[in-house]
Amino acid sequence: MNNNYGFGQIIMTLILAMCLKIVPLPDMFALVNPDWVLLTLIYWALAIPDRVGIFHAWTFGLLTDVLTGRLIGQYALAYSLVIYLCLSLHRRLRQFPFVQQALFIFFCLLLSQLLLFFIKNIHSTAELKPTFWLPVLVGTLCWPLVYTVLRFVRLAKSIK
């Protein structure tokens, strides 16, 4: 059991997250739909930092770029930066209580959202609206959910 790499499970959860990212929702929910792919990546980076790292983040960022029809490389850049932060802090983060962890997640999501906004602003004008904050806030609120579900997956498949 010790060398259960769980490669398939990790990929499956990430693909599921990508589905959630583009699922059609009524306007109100579409405004608050958080970045599921990033949340999933953060979880795996904190749980098994030796296997899920910047390479995963970059690859899935690239796929997300194509999936959402963005300039190639912007999600890749944002995700790899955030995952780099997570990797360098993962020992401390694991000791944190839930609230503190959620705060960290909040800043991670904010960083990625800001980067995406800057990049968008460079190639076409973008408006900074109050709704900018909603996915970040909702993403933070969803973190316990993501954490529990993915932890369940990880323990059920005993991925170490």
Q: Using CB under 8 A, which residues numbered 121 to 160 contact other proteins?
A: 122-125, 127, 129, 131
Kindly tell me which residue out of 12, 25, 114, 145 binds other proteins, with binding defined by CB under 8 A: 25
Give the residue from 31, 57, 23 showing the smallest Cα distance to 139. Answer: 31
Q: Using CB under 8 A, which residues numbered 31 to 50 contact other proteins?
A: 31
Binding of other proteins at residue 11 (CB under 8 A)? Answer: no
> Is 87 in contact with 49 (CB distance < 8 Å)?
yes
Q: How far is the CB of 20 from other proteins (least distance, A)?
A: 9
Q: How far apart are CA 102 and CA 160, in angstroms?
A: 23
Binding of other proteins at residue 76 (CB under 8 A)? Answer: yes
Q: How far apart are CA 121 and CA 22, in angstroms?
A: 22
Binding of other proteins at residue 74 (CB under 8 A)? Answer: yes
